[in-house]
Structure 1
Amino acid sequence: MNADQKTALVSRRSLLKGAGAVSLLPLLSACGATGISSGTAGRVIVVGGGFGGATAAKYIKRGNPAIDVTLIEPNKTFYTCPFSNLVLAGERNMDSIGHNYQELQEVYGVKVIHALAEDVDPVAHTLRLSTGSTLKYDRLVLSPGIDFRWNSIEGYDQQAAELAPHAWKAGPQTLLLRKQLEQMDDGGVYILSAPANPFRCPPGPYERASMIAHYFSQHKPRSKVLILDSKDNFSKQGLFTAAWKEVYGDRIEWVGLSNDGRVTRVDAAKREVITEFGTVHKASVLNVVPPQKAGVIAERAGVTNESGWVPVNPRTFESERVKDIYVVGDATVAAPMPKSGFAANAQGKVAAAAIVASLEGTDTVDPYWANTCYSLVNPEYGISVAGVYRLNDENRIIETPGSGGLSAAKAPSSIRRNEAEYAVGWYNAISQDTWGTKL
């Protein structure tokens, strides 16, 4: 980036609103320092209306309003996994984590079709929908999130999930798990089975355990939480375990892989799990978060590899396997960036910049990304991890040395309360940046 470009970027900082705004900088420079090009256009289809897809659709239109952008999303309201754990704890309702697409349509001119994307023909550049229609694209963005590896744990399939919910996609499963928690007897045990890496939202299971322990402390004081984990280390582990002891005493028990924490069989009807060494655990409420992979449309588009995830060119987030298909969010292989809403939002902006540049026949600049992940131990106790990511000389994503880090291990309650407030501010900002103000 030359000095003139840097000056232009500084003069346009008023546009940088909302969480993850650092990742908008490549988009602005790609569109040129003198403004948005109006002389070219193209057809872009975006599949998936979550943090990654909705952001990509919005920022493509911001980058060049002449580009025809169509967003495919089956649900009229998108419910976020972030803050869904507060719904489980009775601290929020579903409406508070629901977002619509009205502003994307009315303000930015994004076309929205509520349907399932069923198949992709990468040669013909077409997408087939559940409505039977076929759409033509010049560039395709996939932000399909995750799907589950059903039966990778013996006995745990889609039918079993109606008895022992995963609640790892916010919506009906969230309400089901919430209902079971409300109905369980005081003194019962809530068991959470956590998967091995990689999976959506690495700190999510441990925030969930925390918030359910909070609910128990308020309403079922004799009930406990047992986490059975398929790994020995997890995100923010030291912060979580210290907070559990401080806030909840012995209410939360965590059993890692080395201590026979990996669940290998589920009997959802009995709400029982069996671990690797044959130990049987009986739950009052059983919450199984199964192993995951990229959303199914990614596989049908031919962009997944043997891992079940999608390798991408990190400079643009274009698929390494199929030209003109870009993939953002949880479905990607983008380590060390986590599979988080913030990361998906940042990746959506980088992909948008790359797509605008490719359709205009211009170059894009080197991208970089930010991520902050807040977790709540209770509504007034927050912890976080943050990082900034860039490309190295081998075109690989690395965390910029000294760019982030964890909350202090020992901090006064005022700092923990502040972080809890920051978490709410982050959620409000990134939601507005992604979907806009609820109209």
Structure 2
Amino acid sequence: MTYHSDLLRLLDERGYIHQLTDAAGLDALAARQVVPGYVGFDATAPSLHVGNLVSIMLLRRLQQAGHKPIVVMGGGTSKVGDPSFKDEARQLLSAETIGTNIANIRRIFERFLRFGPEGEEGGPSDAILVDNAEWLDRLDYLPFLRDIGRHFSINRMLGFDSVKLRLDRAQSLSFLEFNYMILQGYDFLELSRRHGCRLQMGGSDQWGNIVNGIDLARRADGTELFAVTTPLITNADGSKMGKTVAGAVWLHEDQLPHYDYWQFWRNTDDRDVGKRLRVFTDLPLDEIARLEALPGAEINEAKIALADAATAMCRGAAAAVSAAETARRTFDEGAAGDALPSVTVSGEIGVVDALVALGFAKSRGEARRLIAGGGARVGGEKVGDEAATVTVSGAPLRISAGKKLHGLLLPA
């Protein structure tokens, strides 16, 4: 489809679009007026992680196209927990913990979006941040069931993939969790009423929840709302992006040092560089086309450009420069052999074997004990599984034992 609005052209060119409701209607609306659009984020941790970054970038693209981003923090829904495609219920958090998490997470959005004055709407395309506890905490149960619950079909909700997957595995789905999709649908209705919000965006796993909100607004208010979802961002080998040996790649420097964040992007597979540059940086498309076409080892220039741009956007330009310099010194010292020990790896190696090969452990048993004690790190991230493996391709990978022993795994 040929889009006429700057918004959908931008999202299409950069590879964000997976599903749309009424593409022609949204395209026409975005071409003639400012469209307020939102993404919701539950405050289940003190930081967001790389898995949330696509949704953050959606809001950034919305603003770049002249529209109004609405960041919705789930102060209310975090008390329930989104069951979508989860094997078990989330741990329930206290209101105090959720409030602290929201305060920490807000700092992340201020790096990606332009906000209006504190507590104000600001200009037409200035971002705002709201907490759905503002309306969810004030709901009366019986009026909510009567006025809102009657618009939801249990038969239809049971057919959503996120619910079917849980039930097909015979895994418990509590009544509390089942209500999450109703609350998210109600969020869209409230945002439509309070802020004129017409668009909800998110990952493809949120499709059912988003469509619920669209149907609710049509039934309750006769308002036409729209949705855009992104494809699941995976690595070239099919694994989920952002999952590393040590777990999540956090956006806050409190949870992950600048160098390790930079190195995560630097270690991108050759086949993924172009896609990552389009989605996670603001580099012009013609420059991205040049970078992803670089032959052989020259593709490392593209990976460094990705790491620099992604780190500068999330952590600041100074952090990106510092991380790149640390990486340069680490590589130069390791390559020269005068500071860091190294071992050449062809493809995949177990962390236990790598520790032994570098001389950081005298035996596999000692290496396993090192891992069990939390003393082994790969790329700055703690290794928690003694069976963990790492793939070395394209760039050296730093491995550490304790605070003083550092080495490099070099690609063959």
| Length-normalised TM-score, structure 1 | 0.25
Bigger proportion of residues as helix: 2
| Length-normalised TM-score, structure 2 | 0.27
Bigger proportion of residues as strand: 1
Kindly name which structure, 1 or 2, has the bigger radius of gyration based on alpha carbons.
2
